[in-house]
Structure 1
Amino acid sequence: MTRTIDRLAVSPSVVLVLLCSFFLFLSGCATQQVTGPKRVGQDVYVDIDAPDVMVEPYVPIDDGMPLTKAELAAFNSTGELDTNLSQDEKQLVELFFKSYVHNYRGTVERFLKRSEVYMPFVEQVFRERKLPVELSCLAYVESGFNPNAVSRAGATGMWQFMPFTGKKYGLSQDRWMDERRDPYKATHAAADYLTKLYEYFDNDWHLAIAAYNAGEGKIGRALAGTDSKTFFEICRKNEMLDNKAQLKEETQQYLPRFLAFTKILRNLETLGFTRPDPQKAPQLATVTIPAGVDLRRFARDIKLDWEQFKGLNPAYLRSISPPGSKSEARIPEARVMVATEWLAQKDIAVYAGWRDYRVKRGDSMGKIAQRTGASTALLRQANGRTSNSLRVGEDILVPGSTRAARSTMKILDLEDAPAIARAKDGKPLGGYSGTHAIEPGDTLYALALAWDSSVDDICLLNDLEPSARLRVGQKLYIPSGKNIGALAAKPVERTPEARPAVSLASSVRGGKGTYVAVQKGDTLSSLARAHGVSVEDICNANGITPKTSLAVGRELHILPGAARTQAVSVKSAAETAKPVQTAQAKPKVQAHASAAGAAKVAVVQSGDTLYSLARAHGTSVAAIAKRNGIDPSAKLKLGQVIQLP
């Protein structure tokens, strides 16, 4: 059987498989990408995410349409890399040429548009290295000039370096940066690699280009195994090799695809394509970024949005620069002065001294925070999280020491909420005066009032979030110390029957007003009526507007004043007021009097009885019944106001 395709001696089955993978070029060796151009400067875009993967495999069969006069002239043009092709070889290249020009013009146009950001730099590097400038077409074939392209095999970046080869040519890769994605450093690495391949194969660019795809070892063994001299001769003799040594279809089509693209790039206007505008390449400068810098903060302060910064610096894998080393970033030349001033500041290395930690079974954000001296809020911020959820095996950023955590919190103006050092069992090594077991009715806000502390201090000491739900029986550490608040030295205790009482007037803490925890049904109007103030007073004291929605559990500050201390009738207060715990040393239920000296009252809550109220307030059932004109055996209703003797 004659094994030819227009006299090229390759079996039909091999040719079919060879051509089936033809449009891997459109995917950068099957690169996986998403959508949309990213703006990196005024009128400058890096289309880092455009989808290039073909949904169906494509066989570039001759469409039967002859080349037009202009197309034929373009195809017959030659450069440094496509001279001396035999007629057989030219016909195979023509198959790819026609497919690009006739069937996939939109994809070619997109690749050309994307390349205008990088092509001037690539051509400059190749000229300086005395390499054929047309080698720049390899970036079209490899990735469509996409610095974020990733193949199924793990090849990454505009030049599609595999991990080992990338490191061999100076492209570092870790959990913080992947310099294979840096289009500028990777271009220098590609020039180094191509120079080495050219020398290795005795100045044969066809073999060097094929080896860029398959590796020099693979091509070298194929040459020896087939006793060939050229790339196309290897393809004709490929079946002489055993299955493992044979060139893959991807490699067999690689050089023809590349040569077809060089002919197109050489004749863009003739073929009706738009030539990349070199003026669209951004004028960039390189700045040195210290270890542990918050890159989002840096970008914001030099007037770049995050997408712009990422488009210019795709090598950064996180929004924090590597904590253990300096790195380089590229920014528009117009931003150099402000960037230099920003980088000269002290305390910009927010996350210096932090490290990666791999989540293990049994870990939680709280436990990790305890061990590292951080807070869960700080860990979430450093890792770009909105929740505390973790996955076993994932890597998160944590302080390398308590000192690093404290340094970060200081830089972030969190020095009033220092990290808490803890023993292995999670117990704070200082900064607490005792413990308290949560009972029904307790809230963080009520406890903060009772302990003359703040919700933030309690949360920091106990590694909680302000929105955390407390469990009955849960043990909390009571804050103490200079920075956390002076508290009673012994743990808070209360009787099981104790319930928060309603304050009908200002419960002033340190002369600074009342702190009220918002409960279900509260509105600004109802709170204003209950405390004898106006809605405007509450808004001004808390930095909110009358339209602000109140979240259950939120603490509002009610400032004192003449208009705010008017007596409130028992009836109106009972209809609108909500339970508030007073700033005593213990969150024990207290009876409160109105500003006018009216009777002390309590609002009945779930589980309350006359007996439990009597015990809680040091009186008797008979006395409470008599005071309220009810039977001692009467059942109390939820929300009922009981006057206390």
Structure 2
Amino acid sequence: MLLLSGCATVGQDTHTSQPTGFDRPVVETTLPKSAKQRPSLPAGPLSALGTATTSLPAVATLAAPSDLWDRIRRGLAMPDLDTDLVRSREKWYTSKPDYIQRMTARSSRYLFHIVEEIERRNMPMELALLPFIESAFNPQAVSSARAAGIWQFMPATGESFDLKQNVFRDDRRDVLASTRAALDYLQQLHNRFGDWHLALAAYNWGQGNINRAITQNKRKGLPTGYTDLGMPMETRMYVPKLQALKNIIAKPEAFGTQLPPIGNHPFFDTVTLDRDMDVSVIARISGISEQDFRALNPSLKHPVVMAAGTPNILLPWESAAVFHSELQKHNGPLATWTAWVVPTTMTAEQAAERVGMNVRELRNINTIPPRMLVRAGSSLIVPRNGQRNSDVSMHVADNGHLSLQPEMVLRRASVRARKGENLAQLANRYGVSPVSAAGWNKLAVNAQLKPGQRITLMLPQRTAGALASSPRKTGREESSPSSVRKTVANSKKSPQATQRTASKTKVAANAKKTIQP
């Protein structure tokens, strides 16, 4: 009887999993009422129990959403904001369907990863929409305040969250690193203010500013909610923009908007490198274009990936398997570029000669402007050869920098125009940029000049000193470099002229401010 009693209680326990709000499949098993009752013992010998059958219902499952938008809707959890600014932003977004299409097309590469990270941290899914507000999901976006990447990190804030910024890479644009840093920062802000709307305002305006605004309201006996604080219009519009997007995505049909479908599956996979590799080699092995590779790895600035600094790269999901397979068959160098630390301060021409490289290519690949010296300790991208054929060290990959200084000091000089001359012609005569000359004088580039009209130029110190020391006789003499040299040479014949020239040169040198381009 004890045996029979034990067998009869197997079907009594039932379990129902509660939906989580995310995409995890929920398994729900329910037995019918008759199955919960103790069954009557069958007639016949005890051995007949071994062949008895039990009829159970099929397992019911809650399928994961196939569309990422549906997954996002399930996780929306912030309190709603209902203001006129929200309705204004709703009208703005719905009036620009092309803009929404472009934003969502860019987001399709990165959104799945962001949603996964937000779910893992149990944060509200509205945060997945924040890059729409910050950068329209453009990883190359740079603000006027130098914030960069899809999460728009300022340089100092990025450094505080371990986002490397050097001559080789900018982790503020890295999809994985910047998402990790942004969610860390938002969690920190929410812990401080205890309110998601205030946390978002602090993300935009700075936590110090929000804290001061709260303190001011407390002193006046005023409420301290997001809508109660005094703040700049950009921050005042920040949460309404997010709320408007949230409303549109939650019910697109109510706004007459059609969202491009985004599959609820990974767009990219992470591949680990143990050797430096050229971007062109990675793209060719993976079967993708360099443009597509850089779209997933926007932090990289140069044509080589340094394994010591960037050990993980992102590839389209299907291409990652192709990369692993084809890499085994690859025959040839993996990298043709490396980093070289400049031993002494030198010109770009000297550096190019030292590494056996065309000077124009050296300037272009390392972004070295004309008339600038490369200072000692700078890191340059150069071709590999017999002397430089090893992978870049971790120290250089993480700390590489480019430091420049002018080849010569420029001084302000006043020159006179010739008859029939315009500003561009005068600038070319003195070997300076017409655009720069226009900026210095607040004139149009092709502005027509009057004969003898004075124009300010920034010239090399030697030429400027000659102009300052030469006697001011005629506009033609003063505006001609050859006549300047002739006048200075003739003045050496007379002691009185030499004394006057030296005095003028000293006064002029003391009066002019040295600037660097």
TM-score norm. by structure 2 comes to 0.53
1:97 and 2:90 correspond:
yes
**Could you tell me how far apart the structure 1 residues matched to 2:367 and 2:191 are?**
55
Do the aligned partners of 2:77 and 2:125 also contact (CA within 8 Å) in 1?
Answer: no
For the residue of structure 2 that corresponds to 1:126, the secondary structure is: helix
Q: 2:215 aligns to what?
A: 224
Match of 2:372 among 372, 392, 395: 392
How many angstroms apart in 1 are the aligned matches of 2:210 and 2:228?
Answer: 12
Q: How far is the alpha carbon of 1:179 from its aligned partner?
A: 1.7
Deviation at 1:278, TM superposition (A): 2.2
Q: Deviations over 1:392-415 (max 9, x none)?
A: 16777256998643669xxxxxxx
Structure 1 match to 2:494: none
Task: Give the aligned partner of residue 405 of structure 1.
Answer: 388
Contact 1:171 1:186 (C-alpha < 8 Å) held by counterparts: yes
Give distance in 2, aligned partners of 1:358 and 1:105.
55
Match in the other structure for 2:479: none
Amino acid at match of 2:288: L
Aligned equivalents of 1:232, 1:328: Cα separation in 2: 42
Correspondent of 1:348 among 289, 313, 334:
334
Larger displacement relative to structure 2 (303-312 or 116-125): 116-125
Q: Which residue of 2 aligns with 1:81?
A: 78
Change (3 A) 1:290 1:225: same
Residues 1:197 and 1:276: Cα distance change in structure 2 (over 3 Å): farther
Q: How far does the alpha carbon of each residue in 1:94-140 deviate from its partner, in whole angstroms, 9 at most, with x for none? A: 22222222x33332232233223322222221111111112222111
| SS across alignment from 1:330 | strand
1:492-519 per-residue CA deviation (whole Å, 9 max, x = no partner) reads xxxxxxxxxxxxxxxxxxxxxxxxxxxx
Counterpart of 2:226 in structure 1: which amino acid? F
* Cα offset, 1:281, TM superposition: 6.4
Going from structure 1 to structure 2, the CA distance change for 1:359 and 1:220 (only over 3 Å counts) comes to farther
2:244 alignment counterpart = 260
Secondary structure (helix, strand or coil) at the match of 1:286 reads strand
The answer (yes or no) to whether the contact 1:289–1:343 under 8 Å persists in 2 is no
Deviations 1:371-396 (A, max 9, x none): 4xx3125x776776699995516777
Work out the CA distance in 1 between the residues paired with 2:139 and 2:197.
25
Check conservation: 2:362, 2:382, Cα contact below 8 A: no
Where do 1:280-291 residues align within 5 Å? 283-290=267-274
Task: Name the CA shift for 1:320/1:229 in 2 (closer, same or farther; >3 Å).
Answer: same
- Cα contact 2:109–2:268 (8 A) shared by 1: no
1-structure distance, mates of 2:269, 2:197? 36
Question: How many pairs does the alignment contain?
Answer: 308
| SS of residue paired to 1:287 | strand
Instruction: Identify the residue that residue 488 of structure 2 maps to in structure 1.
Output: none
- Tell me which amino acid in the other structure corresponds to 1:80: A
- Check whether the contact 1:97–1:264 (CA below 8 A) recurs between aligned residues: yes
Q: State the shift of 1:92 in Å.
A: 2.9
Aligned partner letter, 2:207: E
Distance of aligned partners of 1:226 and 1:286 in 2 relative to their CA distance in 1, 3 Å threshold? same
The offset of 1:265, in angstroms, is 1.5
- How far residue 325 of structure 1 moved from its aligned partner, in angstroms, is 3.3
State the alpha-carbon separation in 1 of the partners of residues 201 and 226 from structure 2: 8
Question: Which of 138, 141, 147 is equivalent to 2:130?
Answer: 138
Q: Which amino acid aligns with 1:99?
A: W
C-alpha change, 1:407 and 1:223, in structure 2 (3 Å) is closer
Unaligned runs of 5+ in 2: 1-74, 392-517
Q: Which amino acid aligns with 1:91?
A: D
Q: Distance in 1 between matches of 2:368 and 2:141?
A: 31
Contact preservation (8 Å) 1:156, 1:180: yes
For residues 586-629 of structure 1, what are the alpha-carbon distances to aligned partners after superposition, in whole Å with 9 as ceiling and x for unaligned? Answer: xxxxxxxxxxxxxxxxxxxxxxxxxxxxxxxxxxxxxxxxxxxx
- Write the deviation string for residues 551-571 of structure 1: whole angstroms up to 9, x where unpaired: xxxxxxxxxxxxxxxxxxxxx
**Paired residues of 2:151 and 2:182 also in contact (CA < 8 A):** yes
Rate the CA distance shift 1:340–1:216 in 2: closer, same or farther, 3 A: same
C-alpha distance 405-116 of structure 1, shift in aligned 2 (>3 A): closer
Match of 1:617 in 2: none
205-214 or 388-397, which moves further after superposition? 388-397
- Deviation, 1:90, is 1.8
Give, in whole Å, the separation in 2 of the partners of 1:337 and 1:397: 33
Based on CA coordinates, which of the two structures has the bigger radius of gyration? 1
1:124 to 113, 116, 123: 116
SS in 2 for 1:269: helix
Structure with the largest fraction of helix: 2
Partner of 2:357: 376
Q: Distance in 2 between matches of 1:326 and 1:99?
A: 40
3-state DSSP class of the match of 1:252?
helix
